[in-house]
Structure 1
Amino acid sequence: DDSYEFVAQIDADTIAHPTWLRELATALQDESVGAATGNRWYMPDRLSWGALVRYAWNAAAVVQMYCYRIAWGGTLAVKTKVFRETDVLDKWSHAFCEDTMLFAVLKRAGLRVAFVPSLMMVNREDCDIHGFFYWVRRQMLTARLYHPAWPAVVGHGLITTLGPVATLALACFGVVNQDNSALAWSVAGLLVYQLGVVAMMPPMEWAVRRIVRHRSEPVNWLSAWGMVKVLLAIPLTQSVYATALASALWLTRVDWRNATYDVRGSWKIRLHEYRPYQPVESERNTLSL
């Protein structure tokens, strides 16, 4: 139907504010834009280790998604002319996800993905370490299958993982061999690196809080003890992420929302098993995967 100019979608666990659709539509007024997107930001009500690890990882992921123009399906609008003038519908019918591939599809059509800063959408749900691992592994799988910046994602993961590991190895070498110089330099290097990672987060948190506060949503989720826990969660985040990234490199079968899929290639996704949803009573009914 040519009377519709775009199609918008939102995740079931995302709460849209009153101007959500208008903000997407405004971004699409630019003729060079084929799709407009926001991104997720976590402000969990419960400061569990899993939730804080996910918060720390996502803070870094938001930067990468912006730089690589990776769309987020949780808040996404696509111009209908994209459906008419490209093969995106055919690709969606054979793909594992709908959002990550948009960068390549739009680029071939001379269009781009526009990020809308005011559409940072808050998720306040909890998760555990186990759930985070499988969730972030799926995120890496979609990048592997559909985004040309996948080698850069892997390179970044190697640098952020092997750097601290190599520094720790040098520190152990210094202790074993009583080499105070090696020990001092390695500890100093590790501290500088970790402080650099930590320093990135407050400005981003402050910027998102300004956006969320403007929508009259609560933002004071992080207590003083919570800030300490975030600092402690960063090394854990790096470890779990490295493991998930390594696993995603060769992943050929994945579970997602009560279904198991065989991944034989970017456009060769097959349903292996489907398990109908069964409600489970739980005191922690805000757990998010």
Structure 2
Amino acid sequence: MLVYFGVMYLHWGKGCIRLYQEQGSQPERHDYQPRAVVLLSLRGHDPFLVNCLEGLLNQEYPEYAVKIIVDHVDDPAFPFVNQYLETHRHPHCQVSVLESRSVNCGLKNQSLLQGLSEVSEDVDVVAWLDADVVPHRTWLRDLVQPLQDESVGVASGIRWYAPREANVGTLVRYIWNSAAVIQMLAMDIVWGGSIAVSSRIFRNPRLAESWSKMMWEDTCLNSLATQLDQKVVFVPAVTMVNEESTSLKSCFQFMTRQLMNVRFYHSRWLFICGLGLLSAVAEMILIAELGLFLNQGNLLWLGIILSVVAFASGSVGYVVYRLDCQIRALLAQRGVNVERLPLSTVLVLIPTLLVYCAALLAARRTNHIHWRGVIYHATAPFEIQIVHYEPYQIAAKSIEQTGQSHSSII
């Protein structure tokens, strides 16, 4: 099983690395600049929100509008954004509050649906990003380029973590995401943190119909694009770096939410889950047997097991290292220098494996999701219900301390 796992990652990794190499070898093309609208959904004041706004409002793009949809009038992000815009005006930036609230889909979906409903007929592309994304000056131009091909309906950026701090939770998230990115690129799992869709997608009524009943907005775009004979394309130039740190608990909750998204809305969930669980369990068993044979002095089996574990771990490590080098080179072209993590990061490989296994199991059985003061009851992909809502409060901890059970993820 581990040998198969290693071979798969080498195969997937080859395609990922080629994607970045082709990006670097081709001359930059920014000739396609359709009229675009960028949506930013806000709930709470993210640490990098000011950086996000600064980058978003200063794009090297001729005709684009920005629509910021804040969850509630009492949300701390609302006065912050308005105050920011007083000193950093943008001719086509509109701030609004979520007007109609549904209990049958995620809050981000509701904000995006409101933004889409206000898009004029002359708009050709709609993009959106998360508040923890810091867009570079050519972010929008880079993102929309693939959409000039009429067979492409979705252009997705890529999430990459480059943490400044090296605590356990942050390192586990970095290692897991690095390996997950390879699967995402191989299986067309798009990332809603930086994404653009053509009018062939966002004007189709199936999109609004789906979003109005779903928890998340991004992973489902692959199946929708397939139904409409459209392709999904990943844009290496829109590899967005996140430098935030996190705790181990928050990392586990984040991983579980990501895996729940795949479980609900991606056709290859069973393959992803099975491959992850079987590979992790197999590696843990082999590591245990490694200690047993070492104690017995059985050098033959000791060598065999060491070879298998080294091949599987080395395959993933090699691909991640090559991908990391490609991404660092890309970031250097933007003038962004990211420090390498210490060699001691390898000591977190086993904890990452354990947390990943736990997150996979949790994603299979979880039906309650807690996120920023909101509790969702999610029993099926299109059976979503908000069972508790309150405006976001920075210091509010009460709701996170209630309703927690074995089937809940915050």
| Mapped partners of 1:174, 1:80: distance in 2 | 61
Q: For the residues of structure 2 that align with 1:197 and 1:72, how far apart are their CA atoms?
A: 21
Partner secondary structure for residue 267 of structure 2:
coil
User: For the residues of structure 1 that align with 2:216 and 2:288, how far apart are their CA atoms?
Assistant: 39
* Pairing 1:141–2:256 present: no
Aligned to 1:7: 126
1:270 aligns with 2:270: no
Q: Name the residue aligned to 1:284.
A: none
Corresponding position of 1:203: 322
Q: Indicate the percent of aligned positions where both proteins have the same amino acid.
A: 32
| Cα distance in structure 2, aligned partners of 1:237 and 1:138 | 16
Shift of 1:168: 2.1
Q: Which runs of 4+ in 1 moved over 4 A?
A: 175-178
Distance 2:232 2:312 in 1: 32
Question: Would you say 1:22 and 2:146 are equivalent positions?
Answer: no
Is this contact kept in 2: 1:86–1:109, CA < 8 A? no
In structure 2, distance between residues paired with 1:202 and 1:188: 20
Query: Any stretches of 5+ residues in structure 1 without a counterpart?
Result: 282-288
1:261 to 376, 392, 404: 376
Q: Distance in 1 between matches of 2:265 and 2:289?
A: 37
* Segment of structure 1 superposing worse, 176-185 or 31-40: 176-185
Q: Whole-Å Cα distance in 1 between the matches of residues 296 and 165 of structure 2?
A: 44
Aligned to 1:36: 155
| Partners of 1:56 and 1:146 in 2: CA distance | 24
**Residue of 154, 166, 175 corresponding to 1:56:** 175
CA distance in structure 2 between the aligned counterparts of 1:83 and 1:117, rounded to whole angstroms: 23
Residue 231 of structure 2 is matched in structure 1 by 112
Residue 101 (str. 1) matches residue 216 (str. 2):
no
Q: Would the aligned equivalents of 2:252 and 2:355 in 1 still touch at CA under 8 Å?
A: yes
Amino acid at match of 2:309: L
Q: Is the 8 A contact 2:290 2:305 kept in 1?
A: yes
Match in the other structure for 1:250? 365
Conserved 8 A contact 1:53-1:234:
yes
For 2:210 and 2:322, the matched residues in 1 are separated by: 38
* Kept in 2: contact 1:52–1:233 (CA 8 A): yes
Residues in 1 aligned to 2:193 and 2:168: alpha-carbon distance in whole angstroms? 24
> Which residue of structure 2 lines up, in the alignment, with residue 194 of structure 1?
313
Change beyond 3 A, Cα 1:85–1:276: closer
Aligned to 1:233: 348
Normalising by structure 2, what TM-score? Answer: 0.65
Moved more, 118-127 or 83-92: 83-92
Q: Tell me how far 1:192 sits from its aligned partner.
A: 3.0
Aligned CA-pair RMSD: 1.8
Matches within 5 A, 1:146-165: 146-165=265-284
1:129 matched residue in structure 2: 248
Deviation per CA, 1:161-186: give whole Å up to 9, x if none: 02212212322442565544333322
How many Å separate the matches in 2 of 1:86 and 1:230? 47
CA distance in 1, matches of 2:167, 2:225: 39
Matched residue count: 278
How many Å separate the matches in 2 of 1:186 and 1:33? 45
TM-score (norm 1): 0.91
Q: Name the amino acid aligned to 1:102.
A: L
Q: Distance in 2 between matches of 1:247 and 1:9?
A: 29
